[in-house]
């Protein structure tokens, strides 16, 4: 897909962060946008930003992507009035980290419901109609660096992000016959509201040691706008994997090409995090 003008594009997670930045960037390319997010106020603000510069937002609707019926209602409304879409961007997500002894069933369920079932619901409700329309298209799923490598305390989050990466790899080949390309975005550190809202179970985020780690993390972040441009570039070049930073790309390369070194680094990282956690535990 080289030209975006007048293409129908659904973007989840459009109220902030990568979703908002991508919606704005796609709107400037002349795409006909259908936006959703659970945050209704943020969603309205995004739509207004796009309309202010002449972009086309045909529909906005606030709902929870983990609820299949709500996604289906959104899809049915679009298909009835506008026909099939051309681009589906599953960007919405949330994050919870914690050691396995701290994670509750609710934490695991939230990660799977939002970060895995959410994109699956989008795929279920939009891709079959794209196939029937026979116009080709593009599916973009946002996974994570945690969908590629074994970051400490990311078990629940990674379960969802590895899951959507695996499903995307299968769909990459399943959808080729229909001229529908698939791209998986694996962000590392990105300067979005999620970096401040992420729940680290059992850890006091106001502790000075945690604040130091957050400062180090913030120094490595890229902007949502940069990620949006990387996504668009990935679509144009039909890239399967899109990395948002070179550090994640390098770490993934080490995992595949120099596993003993990767293994050593991950063990060291796990040890350091657990040592830090001991003095930042919530009492």
DSSP 84-110: --SEEEE-----EE--TTT--HHHHHH
Judged on CB neighbours under 10 Å (0-12, 13-18, 19+), 6 is exposed
Mean pLDDT in order along the chain per 10 residues (283 residues): 90 97 97 98 98 97 98 98 98 93 95 98 98 97 95 94 98 98 94 72 70 67 93 96 92 93 90 73 54
Q: Spot the catalytic one: 157, 173, 252, 262.
A: 157
User: pTM score, two decimals?
Assistant: 0.91
157 is catalytic: yes
- CB 179, CB 139: distance < 8 Å: no
Structural domains of the chain in order of their starting residue, each with its CATH number: 8-278 (3.40.50.720)
């Amino acid at each position: 897909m080289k030209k975006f003008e007048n293409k129908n594009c659904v973007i989840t997670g459009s109220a902030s962060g990568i979703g908002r930045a991508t919606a704005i960037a796609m709107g400037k390319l002349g795409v006909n946008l259908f936006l959703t997010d659970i945050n209704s106020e943020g969603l309205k603000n995004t739509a207004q930003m796009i309309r202010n510069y002449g972009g086309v937002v045909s529909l906005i609707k606030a709902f929870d992507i983990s609820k299949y019926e709500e996604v289906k209602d959104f899809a049915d409304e679009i298909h009835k009035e506008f026909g099939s879409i051309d681009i589906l961007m599953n960007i919405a997500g949330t994050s919870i980290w914690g050691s396995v002894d701290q994670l509750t069933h609710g934490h695991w369920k939230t990660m799977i419901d939002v970060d895995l079932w959410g994109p699956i619901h989008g795929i279920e409700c939009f891709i079959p109609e794209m196939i029937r329309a026979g116009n080709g298209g593009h599916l973009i799923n946002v996974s994570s660096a945690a969908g590629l490598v074994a970051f400490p305390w990311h078990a629940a989050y990674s379960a969802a992000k590895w899951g959507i990466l695996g499903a995307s790899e299968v769909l990459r080949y399943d959808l080729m016959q229909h001229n529908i390309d698939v791209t998986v975005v694996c962000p590392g550190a990105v300067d979005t509201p999620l970096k401040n809202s992420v729940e680290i179970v059992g850890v006091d985020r106001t502790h000075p040691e945690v604040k130091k780690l957050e400062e180090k993390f913030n120094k490595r972040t890229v902007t949502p706008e940069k990620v949006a441009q990387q996504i668009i570039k990935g679509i144009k070049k039909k890239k399967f994997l899109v990395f948002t930073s070179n550090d994640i790309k390098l770490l993934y390369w080490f995992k595949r090409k120099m596993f003993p070194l990767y293994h050593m680094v991950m063990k060291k990282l796990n040890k350091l995090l657990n040592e830090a956690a001991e003095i930042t535990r919530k009492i």
